[in-house]
Structure 1
């Protein structure tokens, strides 16, 4: 069984979505017995989990140790989170962390620690806060987990 984790930005420019969807689908199709690992955050995490579930790939939700749902965004994002969470085959609730940034980073590290490879929807720029996509990618690379970066050249995020 191959575990494929995801990390990525919450706000994805429309220009990257076709390449990101195609790359995620390819990663999830590369192994007949794949399992997906996602925190179900807005943006890349929810997109990945949705594609996995649509393809019949089991998803494990990795929930940061904080009042997570309240910080996910607007009601539409929270409703999507709840729908995806209901469809997950497993849920991992992480211990409470001192700050939200620590909680996000702990979830990213858990995903990397349990993944055979990581899909990163990342523009290549530094994290905007501790535990951001760049931090999780750096952690994966330090620990030897293969990372596939999905992004469209020349596209910047807000």
Structure 2
């Protein structure tokens, strides 16, 4: 069994979504061939949800980590709610962290759970350094590497963030 967690940008440009989806499908194929694939995701809009969909499409099992008790109500926008709810329903396990509020501390705690559970981390990441705010994609990559978790960076040619 291989457990792969994801971190990545939420603000993928519209024309980058299919590029990232294809790259994730290609990356996950090798793990499906190895047998049991488990994906761990916070299922935020963008990279997290694309990864979760790719895991399910590949026949893998999904574990969802929700950063706080108020996350669905206060952070999931209407344009993402249907997909978010679908992924929660499709998940084998849903772990809602005890944080009351979705804030930097909650995101950092969720990222720690991702790293703790992962054999590998997939980072849908443009390679830019941390912003200093904490809890972001670059921060999670650095934490995973420090913990000895191998990181696969996915950033296909032509991928961009909304700007």
> Would you say same fold, with TM above 0.5?
yes
Correspondence 1:103-142 to 2 at 5 A: 103-128=106-131, 129-142=133-146
Equivalent pairs counted in the alignment come to 158
Equivalent position SS for 2:50: helix
Counterpart of 1:64 in structure 2 is 67
Asked if the contact 2:39/2:61 (under 8 Å) is kept, the reply is: yes
Which residues of structure 1 form unaligned runs of 5+? Answer: none
Equivalent position SS for 1:30: helix
How far apart are residue 98 of structure 1 and its match? 6.6
Correspondence 1:1-158 to 2 at 5 A: 1-31=1-31, 32-96=35-99, 100-128=103-131, 129-153=133-157, 155-157=159-161, 158=163
When residues 97 and 135 of structure 1 are mapped into structure 2, their CA distance, relative to the original with a 3 A threshold, is: farther
Distance 1:60 1:101 in 2: 21
Distance 2:101 2:76 in 1: 20
Which residues of structure 2 form unaligned runs of 5+? Answer: none
Asked if the contact 2:75/2:102 (under 8 Å) is kept, the reply is: no
| Higher deviation after alignment, 62-71 or 34-43 | 62-71
Computed over aligned residues only, the root mean square deviation of the Cα atoms, in angstroms, reads 1.9
Equivalent position SS for 2:139: helix
Distance 2:74 2:30 in 1: 33
How far apart are residue 27 of structure 1 and its match? 2.8
Distance 2:136 2:128 in 1: 10
| Higher deviation after alignment, 110-119 or 24-33 | 24-33
Asked if the contact 1:66/1:103 (under 8 Å) is kept, the reply is: no
TM-score normalised according to structure 1 size: 0.89
Distance 1:57 1:106 in 2: 24
How far apart are residue 19 of structure 1 and its match? 3.8
Distance 1:82 1:121 in 2: 22
